[in-house]
Amino acid sequence: MQFIYVLSELEGSATDYKVLKDAVTRTNGLKIPQVEGKILTAEEAGGASVEVQNDRRASSKPLKEKTSKAERRALQEAQRAAKAAAKAEGSKASSSASKVVTSENTKPIKATKPSSQKNDGSQVAASDKKGGDRAPEKDRKKDAPHPRMQYDDTSRVEKAKKRAVVKQTEARNRVELFRHLPQYEHGTQLPDLETKFFELDPMHPALYKVGLQYLSGDIYGGNARCIAMLQAFKEAIKDYSTPPEKTLIRDLTARISSYVSFLIECRPLSISMGNAIKFLKSRIAKLPLALSESEAKTTLMLDIDRFINEKIILADKVIVEHAVTKISDGDVLLTYGASSAVEMILLHAHELGKEFRVVVVDSHPKLEGQLLLRRLVRKGLSCTYTHVNAVSYIMHEVTRVFLGASSVLSNGTVYSRVGTACVAMVAHAFRVPVLVCCEAYKFHERVQLDSICSNELGNPDAISKVHGREEINYLDGLVNCENLQLLNLIYDATPSDYVSMVITDYGMVPPTSVPVIVREYRREHLWS
């Protein structure tokens, strides 16, 4: 309710004010506020109360505060400016601002609440804030890694099946804990893919060959798989020709993406392969538009050769030079599985005349350590061979542990073949330093704390059979049993607490300095 006060000079004491206030309150139901140095007289207060009551009977709605013409004009100008700013920033608040401007133009006499100006100001502020955050948000989305396929999402899996080139049969007894990972019956993809050779029109033969080798397991190991993929891309780029009415940059990027999808269907990509694909796509995007098709293809093929030579071949040589300084005469060096970088380190140290012994630890089902053992023995190195279940019994003799890695993540976690974490933890318990040898192109900004959220599942039949012992067939006939689930993990995650040093082509760094390597590697590719 709106009151009209008539102020006069204060006459009388505080008692007179109290008596007057009580009398007016009993008669009119009004309260008289006290103003510093001034009060209302009884007659004036009574007249004001009667006037307010008459106004209340005339209209049940409260009166709106009228604004002057200058204020309304200023409000309109502010709203027009807000509308223009909202349009420039692509904000959705432009529609609400235009409605307010239209109502002001059509009804200039109608009073406007001061609160509407406040609301408009808040809307403009919100739109400004939204528009200002939009560009950085897009940049962050570009930098964020692409979300991996979750195979427990039924709708996405069905869409992927329609686009798939390799028809795969889902495993009957899927492990519940790993339902988000692809679980297919092995042995059915390769024959089906071989029969479709002439049906795959857009697929280059070099990519088709590499995909078959991934399926059959003829190519394994992070560096070998990455080099084979890049060389296949090089052959595809060499034979590429831009279709009419299309640009090389966009069409070739789409073609590379289709090749990558085919390779993923054959076998999931490693982290190093993902980094190599990002490098190739970035080089395609940075091609100058003035280049001809032949010049652009030549540039890309040279970039692929440079990546293989600098990031893989030369990087391994630098790692060998750093790691050899950590080997002394009389050392007992332990390694797990078969790592190309670790093999080069051991052979180079032996060529330098250093006396040491090598312990090769192996595990089922691949038994990769046997291949490494065979090559080391042929070169004249003194070796000991054992399985991972006996690593705790031989660790007290070991002076250093050299391990390979499929990737090193941003939090220092080492992502490598399954069993690496077990060896590293046993070495940590015996206070034996663990040295991880990994090229910088395998580093990734992802953070992973376990081996469940992201992993690769191998053939479950491989762990149900004993290698080289056909007569041991205890699980024959039980593979398809409903209450039996076979799990063959390919990788595991080793926490950074169990890693003493990471040897890379950028130098020897502790696991806590891995983010620095990731930053330098990305900066190098941004300016290359």
Would you place residue 98 in the very low, low, confident or very high pLDDT band (cuts 50, 70, 90)?
very low
Closest CA to 253 of 282, 294, 276: 282
| Distance in angstroms (rounded) separating the CA atoms of residues 193 and 159 | 20
Would you place residue 100 in the very low, low, confident or very high pLDDT band (cuts 50, 70, 90)?
very low
Q: With a cut of 90, say whether residue 473 has pLDDT above it.
A: no
DSSP 171: P
Indicate the pTM of the whole model. Answer: 0.67
- Give the number of residues written for the chain: 528
Q: With a cut of 80, say whether residue 324 has pLDDT above it.
A: yes
Give me the pLDDT at residue 287, please.
Answer: 92
pLDDT over 90, % of the chain:
44
Question: Taking a C-beta distance cutoff of 8 angstroms, is the pair 436, 403 a contact?
Answer: yes
For residue 321, report the phi and psi dihedrals to the nearest 5 degrees. -65, -40
Say whether the peptide bond before residue 365 is cis (omega within 30 degrees of 0): yes
Q: What is the mean pLDDT of residues 340-364?
A: 95
Max mean pLDDT among 12-16, 41-45, 168-172, 178-182 falls in 178-182
User: Which residues, other chains included, contact 57 with Cβ-Cβ below 8 Å and sequence gap of 6+?
Assistant: none
Least confident of 111-115, 411-415, 487-491: 111-115
Which one-letter amino acid corresponds to residue 503? I
Give me the pLDDT at residue 169, please.
Answer: 61
**Domains observed in the chain:** 154-314 (1.20.120.420), 326-455+490-527 (3.40.50.10470)
DSSP 258: H
Q: Which residue has the higher pLDDT, 482 or 388?
A: 388
Take residue 94 and report the two structure tokens written for it.
């432009």
pLDDT over 70, % of the chain:
66
Would you place residue 313 in the very low, low, confident or very high pLDDT band (cuts 50, 70, 90)?
very high
DSSP 289-313: TTS-HHHHHHHHHHHHHHHIIIIII
Q: What is the mean pLDDT of residues 390-402?
A: 95
Alpha helices in 353-505 (DSSP H): 369-378, 391-394, 420-429, 461-464
Q: Name residue, tokens 């293989």.
A: 308
Q: How far does Cα 387 stand from its chain's mean position?
A: 36
Give me the pLDDT at residue 65, please.
Answer: 57
- 11-41: pLDDT as tens digits: 444 445 554 455 545 544 444 444 444 444 4
Helix (H, G, I), strand (E, B) or coil at 71: helix
Closest CA to 333 of 423, 418, 429: 423
Give me the pLDDT at residue 283, please.
Answer: 93
Take residue 447 and report the two structure tokens written for it.
């953070």
Give me the pLDDT at residue 180, please.
Answer: 76
Q: With a cut of 70, say whether residue 494 has pLDDT above it.
A: yes
Q: With a cut of 50, say whether residue 150 has pLDDT above it.
A: yes
Q: How far does Cα 182 stand from its chain's mean position?
A: 19
| Distance in angstroms (rounded) separating the CA atoms of residues 243 and 516 | 42
CB-based burial label for 296 (10 Å; 0-12, 13-18, 19+): buried
| End-to-end Cα spacing for the chain | 72
Give me the pLDDT at residue 153, please.
Answer: 56
Mean pLDDT of the chain: 77
How far is the CA of 193 from the CAs of 211, 215, 294, in angstroms? 9, 10, 33
Would you place residue 66 in the very low, low, confident or very high pLDDT band (cuts 50, 70, 90)?
low
What is the 3-class SS of 136-168, one letter each residue?
HHHHHHHHCCCCCCCCCCHHHHHHHHHHCCCCC
Q: What is the mean pLDDT of residues 341-357?
A: 95
CB atoms within 10 A of CB 490: 17
Would you place residue 149 in the very low, low, confident or very high pLDDT band (cuts 50, 70, 90)?
low
- 188-235: pLDDT as tens digits: 565 566 555 555 567 888 998 998 899 888 888 899 999 999 999 999
